[in-house]
């Protein structure tokens, strides 16, 4: 096939790139290919090379160029395909499942999470099946996937230490608790700001919802412990900042309320591990045993879920004109959870399953 060269003005080139962006946004892969083919011809590239890169026939490239010359850019926009589209086979879906679980980077895509146009492109390139980008969501749902908000994971996490915690430390804690008839208390702290907290809500499209705020940067701080066995919730709230002294005072108040041996599971916050706290733990070692969670592992601490629930019920989308209003609302929700052991116990699902698995292996 002879080499064909077409001349495209700068304004038309800009229009083509704009239309490529819009086609990508709506997931129209076929139209994107057609625009790129025309731009490549305009830059002097031969038909065989373009056809090879785009994985189409040379005849298809020729027809696209003719359509562009006769009808302009609009002549390249793909129409809805007639008839029923081809389907992925069972084995192809299994292969796709594996690729998606490996993540975009393993498949040569940029970014850490999948988006529908990326999956549409992957399916077309790998299996030769073209789905509308609107159908991708239904396909993934049928395959057991769901549309979720991504979460950050620290790159400082130590997989080996996290694994050791689950396989060795947690069984050791359970064994010690049974031997001493001890309570296992997961501890942490939270701060509830007077300026409030935000979350998703319904509103008219294009009209972002707004919540009044006092703008005062002051928070109500809470120490908390939740019991793995009973769902009991111990807490102490304060206005001043969190320190080793106030943490020790909180733990002492819990010790004063029970004769039971306490196993404390905590993170590595400075006021948990300071010299003053080490001295406190040593002084009370007949009544306290302390275990530290792996670094950067809030997902291993069930009380983190409790703080989220308290914020959802108490501070999300609320206006607190005075600090007293904030305190009253937070205390109300704290009291509700202290009287709802079953709610607290439901937060331990991860550890309950882990303990059952360990028990079945003994």
Q: CATH number of the domain that 284 lies in? A: 3.30.420.10
Same domain, 166 and 301: yes
Quote the number of domains for the chain.
Answer: 3
Given pLDDT bands bounded at 50, 70 and 90, which one contains residue 134? confident
Report, as an integer, the average pLDDT of 334-345.
96
Closest to 224 measured CA to CA, from 336, 324, 338, 332: 338
pLDDT the model gives residue 362: 57
For 192, list phi and psi in degrees, rounded to 5: -110, 110
Tokens standing for residue 170: 């947690």
**Residues 76-126: tens digit of each pLDDT:** 887 765 545 568 999 999 999 999 999 988 888 877 889 888 898 899 888
Let me know: does 45 contact 3? Beta carbons within 8 Å.
no
Report, as an integer, the average pLDDT of 63-81.
81
DSSP string spanning 192-257?
Answer: EETT-B-------TT------------EEEEEEEEETTT--EEEEEESSPP-HHHHHHHHHHHHTT
**Residue scoring higher pLDDT (200 or 312):** 312
pLDDT the model gives residue 277: 98
Same domain, 186 and 316: yes
**Domain presence at residue 117:** yes
Q: Where are the alpha helices (DSSP H) in the chain?
A: 10-25, 29-42, 47-54, 58-71, 90-102, 116-127, 133-142, 159-164, 170-180, 244-255, 270-273, 275-283, 303-314, 323-338, 341-345, 349-361
**Which residue segment(s) compose the domain that 115 sits in?**
90-142
Could you say which of 44, 76, 108 is where a domain stops?
76
Same domain, 119 and 189: no
Closest to 1 measured CA to CA, from 42, 47, 41: 47
Of the ranges 23-27, 144-148, 297-301, which one carries the lowest mean pLDDT score? 23-27
Same domain, 32 and 103: no
pLDDT the model gives residue 132: 83
In the predicted structure, residue 236 carries a pLDDT above the cut 90? yes
pLDDT the model gives residue 108: 82
**Domain presence at residue 277:** yes
Any residues with CB less than 8 A from the CB of 353 and at least 6 apart, and which?
none
Cα separation of 156 and 142, whole Å?
35
pTM above 0.85, yes or no: no
Report, as an integer, the average pLDDT of 305-334.
95
pLDDT the model gives residue 81: 54
Average pLDDT score, the chain: 89
Given pLDDT bands bounded at 50, 70 and 90, which one contains residue 171? very high
Supply the DSSP symbol for 290.
E
**Domain presence at residue 133:** yes
pLDDT the model gives residue 1: 44
Same domain, 110 and 223: no
| Surface-to-core class of residue 266, CB atoms within 10 Å of its CB (0-12 exposed, 13-18 middle, 19+ buried) | buried
DSSP string spanning 68-104?
Answer: HHHH-GGGGSPPPPPSPPP---HHHHHHHHHHHHH-T
Best-predicted range by mean pLDDT (20-24, 132-136, 219-223): 219-223
Closest to 325 measured CA to CA, from 243, 242, 234, 216: 216
Cα separation of 26 and 14, whole Å?
19
In the predicted structure, residue 219 carries a pLDDT above the cut 90? yes
Q: How many CB atoms lie within 10 A of CB 174?
A: 18
**Domain presence at residue 148:** no
Let me know: does 124 contact 29? Beta carbons within 8 Å.
yes
Same domain, 209 and 332: yes
Tokens standing for residue 345: 């116990």
Report, as an integer, the average pLDDT of 133-150.
88
**Percentage of residues in the chain with pLDDT exceeding 90?**
55
Cα separation of 305 and 348, whole Å?
9
Let me know: does 58 contact 51? Beta carbons within 8 Å.
yes
């Amino acid at each position: 096939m002879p080499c064909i060269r077409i001349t495209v003005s700068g304004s038309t080139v800009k229009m083509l790139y704009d239309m490529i962006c819009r086609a990508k946004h709506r997931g129209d892969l076929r139209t994107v290919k057609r625009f790129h083919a025309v731009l490549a011809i305009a830059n002097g590239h031969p038909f065989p090379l373009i056809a090879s890169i785009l994985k189409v026939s040379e005849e298809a490239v020729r027809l696209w160029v003719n359509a562009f010359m006769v009808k302009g850019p609009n002549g390249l926009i793909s129409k809805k395909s007639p008839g029923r589209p081809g389907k992925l086979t069972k084995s192809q879906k299994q292969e796709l499942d594996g690729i998606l679980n490996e993540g975009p980077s393993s498949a040569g895509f940029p970014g850490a999470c999948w988006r529908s146009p990326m999956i549409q492109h992957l399916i077309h390139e790998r299996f030769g099946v073209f789905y509308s980008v609107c159908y991708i969501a239904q396909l993934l749902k049928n395959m057991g996937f769901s549309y979720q908000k991504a979460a950050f994971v620290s790159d400082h996490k130590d997989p080996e230490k996290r694994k050791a915690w689950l396989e060795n430390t947690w069984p050791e804690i359970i064994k010690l608790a049974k031997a001493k008839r001890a309570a296992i208390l997961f501890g942490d702290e939270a701060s509830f700001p007077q300026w409030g907290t935000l979350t998703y809500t319904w509103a008219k499209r294009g009209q972002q919802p707004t919540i009044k705020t006092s703008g005062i940067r002051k928070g109500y701080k809470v120490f908390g412990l939740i019991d793995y066995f009973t769902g009991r919730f111990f807490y102490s709230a304060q206005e001043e900042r969190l320190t080793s002294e106030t943490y020790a005072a909180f733990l002492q108040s819990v010790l004063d309320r029970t004769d039971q041996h306490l196993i404390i599971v905590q993170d590595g916050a400075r006021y948990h591990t300071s010299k003053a706290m080490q001295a406190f733990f040593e002084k009370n070692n007949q009544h306290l045993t302390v275990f530290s969670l792996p670094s950067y592992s809030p997902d291993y601490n069930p009380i983190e879920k409790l703080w989220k629930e308290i914020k959802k019920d108490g501070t999300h989308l609320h206006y607190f004109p005075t600090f007293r209003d904030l305190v009253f609302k937070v205390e109300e929700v704290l009291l509700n959870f202290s009287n709802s052991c079953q709610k607290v116990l439901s937060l331990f699902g991860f550890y309950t399953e882990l303990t059952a698995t360990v028990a079945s292996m003994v």
